[in-house]
Amino acid sequence: YRFGSVFSSVVSICCGIGIAFYFGWQMALLTIAIFPLAAVGQAIQMRFMSGRATADAKEMENSGKIAMEAIENIRTVQALTLERRLHAQFCHHLDGPHKTSRRKALIQGVSYGFASSIFYFLYASCFRFGLWLIVNGTIHSMNVLRVLFAISFTAGSMGFASSYFPEYIKATFAAGIIFHMLEEEPRIDGMTNNGKKPKITGAVRLNKVYFKYPERPDVPILQGLDINVKPGETLALVGPSGCGKSTVISLLERLYDALDGSVEIDGNDLREVNPTHLRAHIALVSQEPILFDRSIRDNILYGLPPGSVSDAAVHEVAQRANIHKFIMDLPDGYNTRAGEKGTQLSGGQKQRIAIARALIRNPKVLLLDEATSALDTESEKVVQEALDKASEGRTCIVVAHRLSTVVNANCIMVVKGGKVVEKGTHSELMQAKGAYWALTQKQTLAKE
């Protein structure tokens, strides 16, 4: 609608100037000479608005983040009595845009007044010049009136079109952000059809992998990490927080690429494998499972083509995840809604639904990232039983903080400073009394 209005105004301006030139080219030239003065005010306004648009947008974004965080974590905010502090932070971020808006209103008023005065000056000049032309016999009086009406029509159209200049600045800024996002090429294109699609059995290898997160390029995470897992084996990664355990999970899902070294599955470098094909054979159960505000059945089947899995298969994986009985006891069974972010379910129940969602994909590689660390003892026991069943017959890589959950792993690797400092079975590492033994002693003392 606005584009149509502006286009109509531009056509009207061109027609008005054309009529003015036809009936009195001398007066039309005077009009064209004065019109640029009216554009000076708009130019100043556009320059001011475009100069502050980026800074104001950043401040508005920051204030929006604070508001969203406060709303999403309202219980914590109230428990810590942070209402006034967050309100002050919210208002602080809006101070800049508010001051800009006040200056903008002043400049808009001045520029509008300046432009309006120019048009009145234009009318007066045209009347005086037209009278001079009539006296000298250069133009007929009727043509002077025709030119004046054409100029008046043109000036009105120009004023209408210029009223959209502020909206034009906002639209240009917003479009610039969108086009920048569209033109930016992702480092890892998850939608591409390129890349190899090999048969995956579950052999995983990390060969001298070095990695730093793009957000923290000065902090090394992995420094020559070597891992080798055969198909069907369970590998446990343990170690202090920040040593790079969860980073291994991100590299295997190819959320990031290694800076040096290679991450391989069945001998194929992940950088050469099609991302969609790779992720179809990998399933992740994380510490905080994400459920959607849909039915439990939909959450289990999320990501699979509609109608591709029968209800019997859904019930089977739910039984293996130790969640089927609980679901059947609900009034609506598998049609029960999980609530936003799974708020209608406990942590253990959400975790078991996430396990069922992983199993329904029948993955060759199962990734468990601190899957039981946020659960109480009773829920941990039930979920751990489900995880033990889920890991049967497939490669399983476990990132664990509670060492009691990795006792039965085929191999346990202790990661420290981005390197493997010790590896072996539980009994071998306990006999060696090295880094793993020290971790178990710390947890034993913590429990006591």
Convert the pLDDT of each residue in 223-254 to its tens digit.
Answer: 989 999 999 898 999 988 888 888 999 999 99
Q: State the pLDDT confidence band at 265, using cuts at 50, 70 and 90.
A: very high
* pLDDT tens digit sequence for 162-208: 666 667 767 777 787 788 888 877 787 777 788 888 998 889 999 99
Percentages helix, strand, coil for the chain, rounded to the nearest 5? 60, 15, 30
The rounded distance, in Å, linking the Cα atoms of 409 and 425 is 7
Question: Where in the chain are all domains bearing CATH 1.20.1560.10?
Answer: 2-183
The pLDDT score that the predictor gives to residue 375 is 64
Backbone angles phi, psi at 78, to 5 degrees: -70, -40
Q: How many residues does the chain have?
A: 448
How do strand 234-238 and strand 395-399 relate by DSSP bridges? parallel
Least confident among 79-83, 127-131, 323-327, 382-386? 382-386
Q: How many helices (H) and strands (E) does the chain have?
A: 15, 10
Nearest of 326, 322, 202, 211 to residue 268 by alpha carbon: 202
Q: How many CB atoms lie within 10 A of CB 270?
A: 20
Quick one: which H or E segment has residue 288?
A: none
Report residue 447's pLDDT band, with 50, 70 and 90 as the boundaries. Answer: low
CA torsion 243-248-251-256 (nearest 10°) is -10
pLDDT tens digits for 40-99?
A: 766 666 666 655 666 777 788 888 888 988 888 888 888 888 888 889 988 888 888 888
- pLDDT over 70 for what percent of the chain? 89
What mean pLDDT is predicted for residues 328-339? Answer: 88
Reported confidence tier of residue 408, pLDDT bands at 50, 70, 90: confident
Beta-bridged to residue 415, according to DSSP, are 420
Name which of 400, 354, 346, 403 is nearest 375 in CA terms: 346
pLDDT in tens, 4-20: 777 777 788 788 888 88
DSSP state of 196: B
Predicted local distance difference test score (pLDDT) of residue 406: 84
- The answer to whether 387 touches 355, Cβ cutoff 8 Å, is yes
pTM for this entry? 0.68
Average pLDDT of the residues in 288-301: 88
Of 412, 355, 427, nearest to 388 by C-alpha is 355
Q: How far apart are CA 13 and CA 38, in angstroms?
A: 14
Measured CA to CA, the distance from residue 71 to residue 86 in angstroms comes to 11
Distance CA 49, CA 100 (A): 9
Give the per-residue pLDDT at 260.
92
> What proportion of the chain, given as a percentage, has pLDDT over 90?
8
Mean of pLDDT values over 324-347: 86
Question: Rounded mean pLDDT of the chain?
Answer: 82
Q: Where in the chain is the domain with CATH 3.40.50.300?
A: 204-447
String of DSSP letters for 110-173: HHHHHHHHHHHHHHHHHHHHHHHHHHTTSS-HHHHHHHHHHHHHHHHHHHHHHTTHHHHHHHHH
| Domain 204-447: CATH superfamily, name plus number | P-loop containing nucleotide triphosphate hydrolases (3.40.50.300)
Superfamily in which the 2-183 domain is placed by CATH: ABC transporter type 1, transmembrane domain (1.20.1560.10)
Q: What is the pLDDT of residues 112-137, one digit of tens each?
A: 777 777 777 877 888 888 888 888 88
d(CA 310, CA 147): 79
Residue type, 89: Q
